[in-house]
Amino acid sequence: MKTLYKHQQDFIGRNPDKALLVWETQTGKTVGATLWINARSNLNVLVVCPKGIVGKWKRDLEDDGAVADVCTRDEIKKINLDKYDALVLDEAQDFASPLFDKTRSKRAEVVYNYVRKHPHAPILLLTATPVRSTPWNIHTLACYLGKYWDKREFRNKFFYMTDKYGRFHYEKVDGWRKMLRPYIEEIADIVLMSDVTDVPIQHHQKISIKWTQKLQNQLELQQYEEPSAEWHSRHRAEQSVDKWKTLEKITNGYRKIIVVCHYLEQIDDYVAKIGDNRQVFVLRGSTKDQDQVIEDAKASDDCIFIIQAQMGAGFSASEFSAVVFASMPFSYVHYRQMLGRTKVITNLHENTFYYLLGGKCDKAVYNTVMSGNNFDPISYLNNNDNRICPDQENTKENGT
């Protein structure tokens, strides 16, 4: 029998049929879920989770004596959900696209149809980051729980009509994230790691890498590109040899270290450069047995674990004490998920996070994500008069 933390005891004591657990990464959401499933042992339960942690979920269910089927987020689109009496959605933010406009995803549509058809079916939503990029995310999760806020009133509170960019559309109001907090608190059980235990200091070090005239000359030799394509070309060029040299020095100082990359070609380049000098594990969308790769990386005594920026959900990697963002995720949620990989409530230690900034494009992504927003090159260029602004002097900055 596992020893439960107070927040887990409180939750299972209430044992609600419908719940949204906004528990910070590695505070025991899975334990809470298996307890919730065990309390409904007479029901046929389906757990839906990212592909990379299907195996982990099956092991956790077995360890806790809970019985449920497990499928991936994409498999749910092909399954007949009517045979299930209850749902558990892990990383629930991935099912939270707006329900009432053309941007509704197939995942959201499948879950919403199930909820409408089975309004009394128990449903448990698990996420450390319920809001991705729009207030509609929390509106959708509320609908899954049977809480329906008037969509017109909600839209009028969080959006305004504008013809910015030459067409009429809705834009989010300034300060919308702060305004949204009472709505999250109304429907969610919220737990921070600091609510549960003392959290060691987390160190953050930002390292700027100079954009050289040689790189600028190489970029100018390319044929004309549209502004957004030009931005991506410049951003790729910032993942330079000098950045690799900086990364190599950092990785040489750690026995086990995680490296995060946005571009797949950047991953391939680093794997080729490392060669046989170190053991390397790679987790990317195309990785076939993602769970096995994660477990092998955790078990290794000495390795570099390279992770595609979008792949940081659902697993623990507390065996690592350093993470290098060789290129930042464009999504704030993906960034927050990656931060949580090395923190586990039962194995807390100091961690160091490095941010390698190769120029103005890297800096634009970093500044946007650090402000709690998703980075979009087109929006960035529109707000900067379709120009890629001149470089400023690069300096090395350290922070804790």
Q: Average of pLDDT values for 292-304? A: 94
Grade residue 38 by pLDDT with cuts at 50, 70 and 90: very high
User: Does residue 380 have a pLDDT over 80?
Assistant: yes
CA distances from 189 to 23, 24, 47, 178, 369 (A): 7, 11, 19, 18, 25
Q: What's the N-to-C CA distance of the chain in angstroms?
A: 38
d(CA 336, CA 370): 10
Query: Which residues on adjacent β-strands are paired with residue 258?
Result: 305, 323
User: Does residue 348 have a pLDDT over 80?
Assistant: no
357-366 pLDDT, tens digit per residue, is 999 999 999 9
Q: Average of pLDDT values for 294-322? A: 92
d(CA 335, CA 333): 5
Percent above pLDDT 90 for the chain: 70
- DSSP code for 42: T
Grade residue 182 by pLDDT with cuts at 50, 70 and 90: very high
pLDDT at 115: 97
User: Does residue 77 have a pLDDT over 80?
Assistant: yes
User: Does residue 345 have a pLDDT over 70?
Assistant: no
Grade residue 17 by pLDDT with cuts at 50, 70 and 90: very high
Among residues 34, 46, 115, which one has the least CA distance to residue 83? 46
Among residues 161, 83, 92, which one has the least CA distance to residue 125? 92
Length of the chain: 400
d(CA 64, CA 32): 11
Grade residue 394 by pLDDT with cuts at 50, 70 and 90: very low
pTM (two decimals): 0.74
User: Does residue 301 have a pLDDT over 80?
Assistant: yes
Choose between 25 and 64: higher pLDDT. 64
Give the contacts of 206 (CB within 8 A, at least 6 positions apart).
Answer: 354, 355, 357, 366, 396, 397, 398, 399
d(CA 112, CA 122): 13
Among residues 277, 332, 334, which one has the least CA distance to residue 307? 334
User: Beta-carbon neighbour count of residue 82 at 10 Å?
Assistant: 10
